[in-house]
Structure 1
Amino acid sequence: MNSRLYRYLRILACVPLLAGGGHVHADAAKAGRFYEDALVRFQGNDVPGAIIQLKNALQQDRDMLAAHLLLAKAYLSSGDVGPAEVEFKEALRLGADREVVVVPLAQIYLMQGRYQLLIDSIKPDGLSLPAKVDVLSLRGTALGNVGKSIDATRSFEEARALDSLSPVPLLAEVPRLIAGGELDVARVRAERAVELAPDLAAAHNALASVKHAAGDLAGALAGYEKAISLQPGFVDAVVARAGILIDLSRDAEAVSTLAVLDTASEPRARYLQALLATRRGDAAAASRYMEEAAGLVDALPSEWLATQEQILMVGALAHYSGRQYEKARKYLEALTGRYPRNIGARRLLAAVLVDMGEYPRAATLLDQVLRDLPDDPQTLHLLGRVQLAQKRYARATELFERALAAGGRSSELQASLGASRLGQGERAAGISNLKAAFEHNPQDLGVAVTLANLLVREGQKPDALAVAMRVVEALPDDPSALNLLGLIKASTGDAEGARQAYVEAVRKSPGFMPAQLNLIRADIESGRLDEARSLLDTLLRKNKRDGIAMYEMAMLEQRAGRHAEASRWFERAAAERPNDVRIVLGLVELRSAAGDRVGAREAAYGLALRRKGDLGVMAALANTEIAAGDLRSAQQTLREMTALAEFDATALVRIGYLQLAAANPDAAVYAARKAMQGRPADLAAMALMVQAERMRKDSPAVDSALQALRKQHPGSSIGMRLAGDVAMDRGQPAQAVERYRQAFELQPDFDLVTRLASAHVLLGKPEQGAVWVRRWLQRAPDDMSAYSVLAELEMRKGDWVAARRGYEKVVASGRFDARTLNNLANVLIHLGEGDPVALAQQALAMAPGDVAIVDTLGWALARAGRYDEAIRHLRDARLRAPQDAEIRWHLGFALARQGRADEARAELQAALQDGAQSAWTDEARELLKKL
């Protein structure tokens, strides 16, 4: 029989009631057949076919754990990480063992950039060696990505120590070492990985990356080529190889290399295509590719993106080319903060700051770059622009001339020199210089923008308009040129002309954000609210997290008088920016009730930010953090609450119990002591102290806390109850019985009855426990929970008939739960009577996914000869509890009866491997011999 019955008897505390709903589909056998077909397809690399069959299985039985788990693996293998994460979490919710899902979940979190979640929730403890090595390697990467370099190094070292022959931790560490400039160590790691796994593309790519960073372009090219030969379409290797080829002016080879990729989804490839288009003189294609690269980068998860040096740079360059300085700055600040060695990023950030008018910081950055590259013409040019903006014209002219002498040849540099001369009062020379630069290259949009803007500032708007119109003529398909024309027309007061320029820019390049936003603003200004709303809807469909578009929508709705909608959009925009936001506590409660732990936590966190010091809000946040398993964050929130609560005993006790839930008994002790400073005799605070010391397992402190409570409250049932719990902690059931008895006499309740029964069971006297239960039933003859406990005690005595009567009484009352049905089903299996299958099915419908019930149902089906259905449920149970020997015995039995000898043999061997003796082991050994 199945020995994993629900125990109403508790050793330390009552078994909590389980709540839940669900169903068992009538056609479980059909679901099992779909699953088995999907398994064959998946093993044969027919992943799409496997996904279809798994969905079919789940249509028959939505709670089929094995199907959810295999579907997660199928999605992950096809790169669809969002649905994969959903399915892995569903498998966990349904009871899958952590060993089965921990590595793929960690990989998903890393791919999504959710590093802190990986660190907090994916631990190596209790895993097998391969899984532990993988998890430690993934954690090392995540720790490095959140700036915990020492912890990252330690994690990689531990992984290598566990398995010195695995290339996994070596390859995981290489990117971090390259970013830190530790190229020699990186080379050692990469070479060792190649030695261990010569046919692994990732190993050759890692070694090529090291050579690339060291300037060995020939060696890097060879390495990337090797990686691509081993794994065609290896994106990192393809992009890196193409980049080197472009640097070497081998454009045809670069085009051929990129042709193997779906460049529409790879921002680095799109950026390289923009460079190639620029070299071909195809400005429209270059602009389009830059826009697409920017959009692709924007769509990436922000936490993951923050650790990707190349992609951050692509995003910054793409946005800078489109004059989206705020976005470019965001990427560059992330990049320079994490990769301070990247001189190009520092220089580009300075350029952005110059364009945004933040000249002091730009000058500081440029001075730093000049210390590394004293004659760099780009840096000299930028620093000259800073001086120009600050009207230090002589110094600007000097820097521009130095840039020209150092080899700077851009028309923009010449235009800047012209502007500085204008500032020095050399008006004719300056304007002549600028116009000459523009005439030399009217397709140089940068020069056109500089000249036109300077002319506008000089009051020469017709001349500025002429420049803008000339650049549009030179670049008729370039939306940036049309956007410039719109801006210049707007500056001249031609609002309709400006709007038409923006419309044309958007028509030519629907994804060009500057023109779109300028068109929206023009429409709002002129009262074309419907047109503006339509454009904003399009933007938000493309990027739902575009805070600027949300802000514009809020302004539009405010202008239209739709205040509720304006408020909604302001809140959404503020959540992205994130300033001046409002989130209601009811949202936290709603999401929590719906099981959306992540969403609840996010809402609670936003609310806590905006209502600092509100203990109720912070308690809600702590609860969501605990529910999400982020105990570290919960403990920090609770520490802040403890400080804010001052000496409010009620608040401190509440905080203390939350600390216990967050596995921080030391903090709970502190909260209890602080509460008692304000109210020294507070019973709740003193009880909290005992519970906290129990969790700390500090015997002297537990005794002191308990003695203080009982001295202060000698007639308290709580004190006696806690004394009994402490005795049970120490393996003293006889003493616990006496304390629980005294507590019961002070204040009778069923919780104490279950404690008394548990203590008597430990004493080997279940009949004495039954006496207490019967005594309680004299007080409360309709207490069905008491009848359930009594039935379990009858089973412990071996009186299965009496146990059946007890459970059937509870069921007949209508006041039963899934545990009662499960236990009754097991009694019937043992007696060979009744319909245990129906009872187990009913129990599973009430508590779907509970491993004991899943196993009971499978075992009942197996004993009834319904092996197809039995195997489906027993597989499910094994996935939830793979270390449970009895479940494996049940599965082995069913597989053997189905004629699947190899699988049955494996399950029976696993069930019997520890040599323990149970009621079923003799039967299992006999069956194994027959197989």
Structure 2
Amino acid sequence: MPDMNPSRVAATLAAVMLLTTGCARDPDPAQLMASATRRQAAGDNHAAIIELKNVLQRVPAHATARLQLGDIYLESGDVLSAEKEFRRARDAGAAPGAVLPRLGTVLLLQQRYDQVLTELLVDDAWPAPEQGDIRALRGYALLGLQHQADAARLFAQVLAVQPANTLARLGEARMALQSGAVDAAMKDVAGVLAAHPDNVDALRLQGDLYRRAGNHAGALDSYRKVIELRPANLQGRLDAASLLVADNRIDEARSELAAASRIAPGSAAVIYTQALLAMQEKKYPAALERLQLILRAAPDHPPSNLMAAGIFLTQNNVPQAEQHIQRFLAGQPRHAFGIRLAAQIALRGGKPGDAVALLEPLLERGAGDSQLQALAGEAYMRTQAYAKASACFDKAAAIAPPTAATRTSQAISELGLGNNQRAEAALEQVLLMPGDAAGDGAQRRAGALLVVTQMRAGAYDKALATVQALEKQQNNPALQNLKGGVLLARQDPAGARQAFEAALALQPGYLPALQNLAQLDVLAGQPDQARLRYEAVLARNGNDTELMAALARLAAQRGQMAAARGWLERAYRAAPDAMAPALQLGTYYLDAGELPKALALAQKLQAANPAHVGALALLARARAASGDGEGALESYTDLAGRQPGDAAVQLQLAGAHMALNHKQEALAAIRKALESQPEHGPALATAVRLLTDMRSWDQAMALAHGAQARPATAALGYRLAGDIEMARAHPALALPLYRKAYAQEPGGPLAISLHRALVAAGKPDEAASHIANWLASHPRDLPTRLYLASTLLASGDYRAAIPHYEQVLAIEPNHVVALNDLAWTCQQAADKRARGYAEKAYALAPANPAVADTLGWILAQQGDAGRAIPILKKATDSAPQAGDIRLHYASALLRTGERREARRQLERLQADRGYKRQDEVRTLLAGL
């Protein structure tokens, strides 16, 4: 071997390297295309993509490479990249017959049906096969838009010219599948596969048909044939994986998913199927995490929104479930399963009217579906349309053997119709079902409902016998708690206490039994024992916010408002991200008149949880209470938009409009409430009151007459007609209407209406006798007694009013309104107890400006102006529009010689032309 100089070796190597590099720089595109095709056929799509990109680096306008690259992207599930390449191929001069069917396919996969019809236009000059394929794809788009008849005409038109057109034949199969004609669809697919056994689309559809028919083994064979033919076909892998997930063959599903991930690691379809697997394993947080990856990039992705809605419903997160199902139905408004899920979400969210509206169109074409009939029955039952509910449950039972849940719901409908015996029979049938058929949960619910039904009928012995029979089959804390309730109804508090304690022995800390025991303690005059019970359990469960809420209720019941606030604030600190304690605290602040705190908390909650309707409702209330009418209207409008079928929300929106004197807008909101729930009593009453204020007598009376015509609202209709006549100063015409309403549905509100009408008609003795008789037979009717007391107070009969306030306090010692009004009445009657009642009312509700005004004015009149002034100032600042409170404050200032500040307050009152006590204001100013 010759001895070579190192420098010569280096030079030789450099020459070789340069030669090699030069060859790499100038590859032949045709060779690269051939290599890409070989690699694609071998299933190595990644290598094929590299080869094709090398071609396109050299020849960007290489239309064939663009088409082939798009095909690989499409097979790998990257639909967006495929669409880009097909469009670039078209721009590079690819023949329309080659590019348009591909472009149509990717648009269909993205459900962009209108775009398919816009972009895929047929040229009669094209060859027949190309025309046929384009028309068939347009047919698919029409199918997606639910235009079945137009799609059928297109498919028939193609097949008349080309009987063997595969796309059109498969289109007819898909149309048959949509209409439920599985056998016809299978026949069409079999015809295609007989001619083209390797047609991947036909094999996939065959798998879908087998799956629809319950033949999962056949479906898996079809999907696996796709994988054998196209190992890199992403959709075939995912079809197999989703079927294996449904069959709970988790390991095999995981294997297919792993293969799919290698084909397309970041594909939305892969991530979605991973979420499906996590959901099957009940790993809901993991499933939602995967779905969020998709929804962040594509917020309207239908399958992800549908699955997310189902998972959130499982987690009882109704607001989030609503948000996702609404997104899903916005794109697929006729999707039967989506509509059913939306109805279930509406029922869980307390909107049965929405559920009925969703399900009624389905009932027209799904009369033979037992599950649909049962769901509709549940919705009708919740709207108190018991006859329709019972009919649906009967149909469901005729189609398939009734489940325990269906029987139980049917019993509730029978109760609503007054058929107690039929209801009891249905519930007894549930209890006789074998455990496997009924399910423990269903039997527990049926047993509890049967006991409650018997108790409502006053059959306490029968109810106790039912509980004792249930004890032999099962024993749980809920049953023992129910037994305690039966024993209480039988006037056996000792036995009831024993049952509640048995419930706690089975499950220490079982809150319903704990609350019942605490109530027994309170009734026995041992509220401290009740508190100790709660605190002992809380010591073991230090962050239990429900226990803290129970302690807050107990403290409020005892008038210990500072303690109640403390417990609610502690619960909020213990779980700042939990909505329940936060909403309870916000509601407490509102009820206690602590408006700045309520508003601040509501704003914080709504900002952190913009989708939570509870937070939005609290913010709306807080804004309204704080005098922010425009802000309240904005929040209630948002709330009504999210819950369009909720009559109560529409009524709140009407109230916000009324606060701003938007009468027509308020009326429109009330009418919307009545559209969804025509028998909604508060909405009817508000509508009549508003129309009466507008002096639209005929419209108001028409509403009242309409209510009279419906059995459920007949009594209300007569009462409303009476209210209209009273507003028109026709008490003589109002009286017979009120009497008719009272005869149908006697109650405190009608007793009050009759009293007013009798007084206005010049019959004060009959009025006094009527309301006294009512209260004698209903001594615990506190609202009616307070009405009578306030009437006597307004007439100046202070001595007669005092006993009525005292009777209210004997039943409810911490009734703030009664304490406040009694304090004022005693002060007017020169009764020395006035200050004591006022002090107690103020201790219970220090933030209430009316309560503060009563105490402050009593203190001022009794010579304690020094203490009165800060209390009256606080009341004035809290209620700046309340002229009487400002007048009391100015008078107290004068008593202490603070003449300058007194003048300022009096001049503000003088500037208020609407204030009626201007004579007193002028007298005080003159004294200055």
- Structures share fold, TM-score greater than 0.5: no
User: Which of these two proteins has the greater Rg computed from alpha carbons?
Assistant: 2
Q: Provide the TM-score with structure 2 as the length reference.
A: 0.41
